[in-house]
Structure 1
Amino acid sequence: EMDSVVHSMKLLYEKDIAYNFERLGIDLAMVTTNAESDDGVEFMRRATELKAKQQQIREDILQPLRDTVQHMLREEQRLLGKDVYIQNEDVDTPIEQFRAVGAKAVEPPKLIKPFNVEEWLQLFRSQPWLSKQAAEEQRNLERRKDKRGHLNKQRGILDMQEKEVKKAQAEREKKEKAIEDMKTRLAAPDCPAADKFNLRRDINLQTEALEDFSE
């Protein structure tokens, strides 16, 4: 179930980025389009529609998925904490150091006073379920440890994907602002002709860089 949720979140982040790039293209087109023209009205409608789609993804879909992941992690932590004490665990531990995380049983097996072989055989034969129960508990412990490692790995992947999305958004916004600043300077009445040439050239270069970034 965790794999399915994480995969869904990855697809939604990719779709959100695609909407951002599409909105950027529309914003660039609107710069050279009369806002009251048919094209200008259509661009505005499309931009509004894309914004609504992004808001729906972020608030109505992504947030519940994030809550689901957090609930799964808390529930697994609760179940694991009943039987196992995790050593050297830290929320900031990188994936490559997970091997250093250890585990100990919350209630270590009690020491049993020594007895002779005959007594042990008699006890074992009269209560065979003890051996079966110990083996089953050990298997359950191993399964939970494996699942814990898998959940930590998925959490690391999810954190990395979120950082990549934020980095891409920040780079895009930086380029957009640079273009807007140059357009403002270009539109100024006192802008020298030499500066206008350089500004147009830089705007074209930045626009091409945005298109390459979108690809």
Structure 2
Amino acid sequence: MNSVEVRVVGKPEKLFEKVFEKVVKDVVDKKVDEALKASLQLLATARDQALASIEKEVEEILRAAEERLKAHESSLEARLRVEIARLKNEYVNKAVEEALKRFRDTVPEEKYREILRRMLKNGLQTITVHTRSAVIVPAAKDVELIQSILPEVEREITGLSVEISSKTIDSIGGFIVQSRDGRISLDYRLETVLSEALDRARARAMKELFG
């Protein structure tokens, strides 16, 4: 039987080294590819998470802004309603006040004098229950008229000392009668005496003007 002789050309260690390098290179390339893919996957995941986080943040900001806007709108509406109501009341009050001034200026002098005399008599009779000394504080426009009426009224009331104050009150007409110590005070200004009628006039004016 003939034997076969195998000859290795060159150095075996060189061949082994080349084979080893190729194997290592393939393994390294594969690992690099896998690492790169993993990194890209991580980046994609991180990007998606970042986008989701940003979208959520934007939604929360927009929601908060919308809530603030609604609250602001509600506040504006409430303030607008209050302001409209205030303007309506102011307009009606001015109209009623003007009507009251016209009443004071257009009522015939004798008729107004009689109205004032009755109010003065009623006020003094009422205050005698509490005191024997009273002071009348008149509206500026009615000082002279009250001075002329008081002697007539005093003759109808006994046991009461009355004087007219040098001070006056800010009123369209009428007076305030009070005890000398100021503890008791009765308001007979036209605005007060006619308050119920004025309230009815305000309500009617509000309804007719604004529905």
Tell me, yes or no, whether TM beats 0.5. no
* Bigger Cα Rg: 2
Structure 1 or 2: more strand by fraction: 2
Structure 1 or 2: more helix by fraction: 1
Tell which has more relative contact order, 1 or 2 (C-alpha 8 A, sep 6+).
1
